[in-house]
Amino acid sequence: MKQNLYNYILGIADNSLILGQRMGALTGHGPSLETDIACTNISLDLFGQVRSYYQYAAKVAGDKRTEDDIAMLRHEREYLNVLLVEQPDTDFAYTMGRQFLFDVYHFLFLTELQKSKDLTLSAIATKSLKEVSYHQRFSTDWIKRLGDGTEESNKRMQTAIDDLWTYTDELFHQTDADKEMVAEGIGVDVTTLKEAYYQKVADVLQESTLTIPESKYFQKGGKQGIHTEHMGYLLAELQYMQRAYPNMEW
């Protein structure tokens, strides 16, 4: 099996899986019915992407594993998502902050992934890019509303951005699989996205009357499967049925 390609696909897909799981959990608990419906749509888009990626990964693996095995039957240390997407929904500002900080990256990443020599990945990227363009628009609008809304919303939005900021740098770390895939013309060199990312984020924060955090201390580890304490609980729910009732069809 092409281990690097396999790991590379998971590295992309796991982000969508964990973010989709977070967003999906909010269904029925949003600030308005309309917002609720919109957030569920984002979750559905992400799970749609996840399924395409994992189905491809299952093919690459070439054994009996299925998309669900990959999604639900790995140990925590084997999930390769960035720490950012597993952060909890402390309030709606964290939800939108997490979404925004990921969307800006996701958009830049998929734009490049479209050029991949791997035709499956490039096709998934092209399809996902339309969805993610909308996510980015949606979360950007909310950052502006909350940042430039009321005094309270500004404070909450700033707190969320300050807290989540520490997880942004990891988006641009290269893994071993990354390096191999870049060399083969399949993967995206994420280090090249960094400047455009922070520029875009800074522009939006500024327009939203928010302060760009100055902290230079960043957290990392997700890409190596070393997660925050939130991850175990998230996986406990995600995997509950597959673990409690192994080897069954649903």
Residue 64's Cβ-count burial label (10 Å; 0-12, 13-18, 19+) is exposed
Instruction: Output the smallest distance, CB 172 to another protein, in A.
Output: 28
Query: Quick one: which of 6, 54, 100, 102 contacts another protein (CB under 8 A)?
Result: 54
Nearer residue to another protein within complex by CB, 33 or 119: 33
Q: Interface residues for another protein in 178-237 (CB under 8 A)?
A: 237
Instruction: Output the smallest distance, CB 65 to another protein, in A.
Output: 13
User: Does 64 contact another protein by CB under 8 A?
Assistant: no
Nearer residue to another protein within complex by CB, 89 or 180: 89
Query: Quick one: which of 3, 29, 65, 232 contacts another protein (CB under 8 A)?
Result: 29
Distance between first and last Cα of the chain: 28
Judge contact between 194 and 104, C-beta under 8 A: no
Instruction: Output the smallest distance, CB 120 to another protein, in A.
Output: 18
Nearer residue to another protein within complex by CB, 46 or 113: 46
User: Does 68 contact another protein by CB under 8 A?
Assistant: yes
Q: Of 32-40, 97-105, 119-127, 163-171, which segment contacts another protein by CB under 8 A? A: 32-40
Which residue matches tokens 């897909």? 13
* 3-state class (DSSP) for residue 77: helix
Q: Which of 126, 159, 182, 149 is nearest to 5 (CA)?
A: 182
- Token pair, residue 183, equals 């060399």
Query: Quick one: which of 111, 159, 175, 242 contacts another protein (CB under 8 A)?
Result: 242
Per DSSP, 212 falls in state P
CA distance 164 to 98: 7
Q: Interface residues for another protein in 116-155 (CB under 8 A)?
A: 134, 137-138, 141, 144-146, 148-150, 152-153
CA distance 172 to 189: 8
H-state helical runs in the chain: 3-25, 33-61, 67-72, 83-86, 92-113, 119-147, 151-165, 176-183, 194-207, 230-244
Contact residues for another protein, defined by CB under 8 A:
21, 24-25, 27-38, 40-41, 43-44, 47-48, 50-51, 54, 67-68, 71-72, 91-92, 134, 137-138, 141, 144-146, 148-150, 152-153, 156, 237-238, 240-242, 245, 248-250
